[in-house]
Amino acid sequence: MSTNIPALQIARPGSSRMNKTGSWRTYRPVCDLETCTACTTCVSFCPEGVIKVNKEDKYQVDLDYCKGCGLCAEVCPVSAITMEREEQE
């Protein structure tokens, strides 16, 4: 896979752990677990450190703290993640 995403330096990774983001997020990542290969690329790029991947469960995201940036969907080499609009109450 080639990507044009520039290298990022994250000053305070995981900072949204201090603030739940689920109520104001506009989009949420949804993973097709049949397509996910558990490569862990998304784990490396998530600026909030809220993705866990293992061979059994594959992609798991803590939506309480995901801010919906879409970076995981951008870097997934098999396009397993789509960003879906949150339904507002």
User: In the complex, what is the shortest distance from the CB of residue 64 to ligand SF4, in angstroms, rounded to a whole number?
Assistant: 11
Tokens of residue 58, six digits = 């594959």
The DSSP annotation for 6-67 comes to PP---SSTTGGGGS--TTT-SEEEEE-TTT-----HHHHH-TT--EEEETTTEEEE-TTT--
47-76 positions binding ligand SF4, by CB under 6 A: 48, 50-51, 53, 58-59, 61, 66-72, 76
Closest CA to 27 of 76, 61, 75, 78: 61
12-41 positions binding ligand SF4, by CB under 6 A: 29, 31, 36-41
User: In the complex, what is the shortest distance from the CB of residue 63 to ligand SF4, in angstroms, rounded to a whole number?
Assistant: 8
Nearer to ligand SF4, 15 or 70 (CB): 70
User: In the complex, what is the shortest distance from the CB of residue 89 to ligand SF4, in angstroms, rounded to a whole number?
Assistant: 20
